[in-house]
Amino acid sequence: MRVAMYYNNRDVRLEEMPKPKPGKGEMLVKIIASGICGSDVMEWYRIKRAPLVLGHEIAGDIAELGEGVDQFKLGDRVFVSHHVPCMECRYCLSGHHSACDLLRSTNFDPGGFSEYVRVPAINLKHGVFVLPEELSYDDGAFIEPLACAVRGFRLMRFSPGMTVLVMGSGIAGLLNIKLARAMGAERVIATDISAYRLEAAKRFGADVALEASEDIPAGVRQANDGRGADYVIVSTGAAGALEQAFRCVDRGATILMFAPPPPGTETCIPVGDLWKDEVTLTSTYAGSPEDIADTIELLRTGKVAVRDMITHRFGLADAGKGFELVAKAQESIKVMIEPQR
């Protein structure tokens, strides 16, 4: 089968690999849509394991079923989660599924930028969801990134009628903007360094879009009746973004670390201000089965629409062009790879 083999952001090659064979309790999924995630182009994170087949935002059809698999049938349209928790350890039982050792070690074989993936039994048990008829394959490929945002809103105990500041308007930030609007935020403020992304932020639900080089704390208060934001979602790994977030919050606010910071990133935390103003600092990573189920319902009911976020589509042979677009972070939002082209 054909795969897009990742060597670095400027070197993604069309190569051949044997098609995986599902074993007992496993399945083979034919990939129809696979989104490029911002984390796919973080070379500091990916290149140490290269060459490899990336891709974890997938939707497709069940092509083969291994022995003993009877809860699904051939041809089912499915979303498959690449990371799954065990649902039994102390972390899972306390609601911290992202801290589960199994979640951090599971994946499908080889990756979503391929014609087929083998789904291991544990992924099949906790990470395969049949797509409702209302959802397209494109919708399905958005389930994983949107579930990450859904988990973030749950962990920061989001309440409607509040002001949300989203720092960074890449695809993750834009999904957080859409979700904030769908969840009943009174006001949504966005930041970015790109005029293209700031325009997208306004198109997808931000009331105000601020250029990141400006005085963001002042801009937030000007847009929010003199107050800081109730929720600040740091959706960029840019140096200083978290430090800036501390100066943008209202009393009793919550800061959510959403984007992964580069290795060695350190920041000064004004612990006295956080203590005095009862500011909560929390983080989120990945999505649990519960978050995925909630995400599917948001998409099925149309409370969050995502198809309008797709700006580019490529077949496997041109996957490298998609990686270059995402890495440049200029005029693209969601780049979709269609492995059957």
Question: How do the domains of the chain map onto residue ranges?
Answer: 2-146+287-337, 157-283
DSSP 45: H
Q: What is the secondary structure of 144-201 as a DSSP string?
A: HHHHHHHHHHHHTT--TT-EEEEE--SHHHHHHHHHHHHTT-SEEEEEES-HHHHHHH
pLDDT value, residue 265: 84
Q: What is the CATH code of the structural domain delimited by 2-146+287-337?
A: 3.90.180.10
Is residue 280 classed as helix, strand or coil in its secondary structure? strand
Note if the bond before 261 is cis, omega within 30 degrees.
Answer: no
Three-state DSSP class for 116? strand
Nearest to 231 by CA among 155, 171, 289: 155
The reply to whether 2-146+287-337 and 157-283 are identical in fold is no
User: In this structure, are residues 34 and 112 in contact, taking their beta carbons and an 8 Å threshold?
Assistant: yes
Return the H-helix or E-strand segment holding 27: strand 27-35
> Please, which residues have CB within 8 angstroms of residue 328's CB and are 6 or more apart in sequence?
none
- Between strands 249-257 and 57-65, the pairing is unpaired
Q: What is the pLDDT of residue 339?
A: 98
What does the pLDDT read at residue 84?
Answer: 97
Mean pLDDT split into 10-residue runs, the chain, 341 residues: 97 98 98 96 90 98 97 98 96 95 95 98 96 98 98 97 98 98 98 97 98 96 98 91 95 96 85 93 95 98 98 98 94 97 91
What does pTM read for this prediction? Answer: 0.96
Contact of 173 with 192, CB cutoff 8 Å = yes
Buried b or exposed e, range 188-216, using 16+ CB within 10 angstroms: bbbbbebeebbebbbebbbbbbbebeeeb
State the pLDDT at residue 268: 86
Q: Which of 15, 104, 87, 20 has the alpha carbon at shortest distance from 51? A: 15
Q: Are 248 and 232 in contact (CB under 8 A)?
A: yes
Q: Is the dihedral of CA 158, 162, 166, 172 positive or negative?
A: positive
Please check whether residue 81 is in contact with residue 93, taking contact to mean a CB–CB distance below 8 angstroms.
Answer: no
Q: Determine the residue type at 163.
A: T
Question: What pairing do the DSSP bridges indicate for beta strands 334-337 and 27-35?
Answer: antiparallel
pLDDT for the residue 34: 98
CA distance 330 to 267: 27
- Residue 299 and residue 309 in contact, taking contact as beta carbons nearer than 8 Å: no
Structural class in CATH, domain 157-283: alpha beta
Tell me the C-alpha to C-alpha distance, in Å, between residue 48 and each of 8, 24, 53, 148. 10, 32, 13, 24
CA distance 88 to 175: 30
Give the Å distances, CA to CA, from 151 to 27, 46, 124, 309.
Answer: 27, 24, 21, 20
| Token pair in block for residue 73 | 């049938």
Task: Give buried/exposed letters for 105-142 (b at 16+ CB in 10 A, else e).
Answer: ebebbbbbbbbbbbbbebbbebbbbebeeebbbbbbbb
